[in-house]
Amino acid sequence: MMFKAAGRLTLRPKGRPKVSTRTMGDSLAEGGVATSYPAFGAIGGRAKAWLRVSLLFAASLIVAQQSVAQVTAPGTVIRNSGNVAYQAGAATRTTASNEVTLAVQPMPARAGISLARYEATASSASTAGPTQCQTTSGFMPLMRPAPQGLGELDPLLPIPMQDTGVAHAGDPIFVRVVDMDRNSDGAVVESVDVRVTAPATGDAEVLRLAETGPNTGVFVGYIVTGTDATAADCTLQVQRNSQIDATYVDPTDNTDAAQADALVDPFGLVFDSQTGGPINGARVRLINDATGQPATVFGDDGVSRYPSEMVTGQLVADQGGTQYSLPAGVTISLG
């Protein structure tokens, strides 16, 4: 509606003001400024857009950091320097800064440890050397691992091995440590130290495990086991039906520790269900579950056949002539 006042034409708005695209939702009306509803939507839209950009920027920083950590090998030296050019009168001069260098450090990681034994059909294989053992004269190289009935293995070549919780006296036991932050130089094969103990005999050995290759963070070695208390150093003296332990502590962080254990030749025991006492004179037969036929059992040398049927409490001999005197109620060591 239009009317004249002091020689001017004035437009009085009627109803809700129309949104002006030029003012992004702000409508000019008589007596002041009215804000329409779409204006709040525009402000909210801008806030959401800002939030999305911020989140994307933060995500890109995280991805960039992860990418650098994955691509740049630990130990890589990064060199930084700068130059500044300036005008001194009619002459242009350039000054170089000092050079600053830094080495890429591995990202912090928690360690893990496991025990393994030789297994020809294992799905994975790993080198296991060179492995060293601590003596009174320092660390000395170990003789090659030699599973009974198989002969020596070259620890510098991949050896098929299977994680295990059971060890056999006389066979080597392999030790694997995974600790990515001990891979401090991606171009060098490094090492870590592990302590292996047999609480039943009181014997303990400190091993130095070699990294399986540059920039892997995986360290594998082995220790020879035996039951001869007079054996030379660097052979872990074990006792049947007892436990061995392997312990690793990160030398730069004593809160980062890992431990693994295994049973040595655990016994199969026939016992009285009421008293728990061992029973002698019981006949025990070992059967192959897949075929239903007598099981194939080997003696300590891994070659000579061991009887699949025996009587508890009696002396047992394998085909190679080795005799086994086992505790009461025991028929066979299940190593």
- Nearest to 148, CA basis, from 288, 308, 318, 284: 318
Mention every residue, 6+ apart, whose C-beta is less than 8 A from residue 154.
144
The answer to whether residues 162 and 116 touch, using CB atoms and an 8 Å cutoff, is: yes
Is the confidence at residue 225, as pLDDT, over 90? yes
| pLDDT band, very low/low/confident/very high, at 32 (cuts 50, 70, 90) | very low
Q: What is the pLDDT of residue 268?
A: 79
Q: What is the pLDDT of residue 167?
A: 92
Torsion angle in degrees (nearest 10) through CA of 81, 87, 92, 98: -20
**Better-scored residue on pLDDT, 52 or 233:** 233
Tell me the C-alpha distance between 21 and 93, whole Å. 54
| Residues linked to residue 268 through DSSP beta bridges, in sequence order | 332
What's the mean pLDDT in 27-45?
Answer: 44
Model confidence pLDDT, tens digit, residues 275-311: 989 999 999 888 998 999 998 888 777 778 888 888 8
Tell me the C-alpha distance between 67 and 61, whole Å. 10
What's the mean pLDDT in 75-94?
Answer: 84
How many CB atoms are closer than 10 A to CB 266? 17
Q: What is the pLDDT of residue 231?
A: 58
**Which class would CATH give 112-265?**
mainly beta
- 39: alpha, beta or left, given left = phi > 0 and alpha = psi -120 to 50? alpha
| Gap between the terminal Cα atoms of the chain | 105
**H/E run at residue 38:** helix 37-71
**H/E run at residue 116:** strand 112-118
Mention every residue, 6+ apart, whose C-beta is less than 8 A from residue 110.
256
Q: What is the DSSP string of 188-246?
A: S--EEEEEEEETTTTEEEEEEEEESSTT--EEEEEEEEES-TTPPTTEEE--TTEEEEE
The whole-model pTM stands at: 0.67
Q: What is the DSSP string of 294-331?
A: BPPEE-TTSSSEE-SEEETTS-EE-TTS-EE---TTEE
Tell me the C-alpha distance between 142 and 48, whole Å. 65
Q: Over the chain, what is the mean pLDDT?
A: 80
- Nearest to 147, CA basis, from 161, 158, 164: 161
Domain spans of the chain, in order of start: 112-265, 266-335
Q: What is the pLDDT of residue 63?
A: 44
- Nearest to 132, CA basis, from 226, 189, 206, 238: 206
Model confidence pLDDT, tens digit, residues 110-129: 999 999 999 999 999 999 98
- Percent of the chain predicted with pLDDT > 70: 76
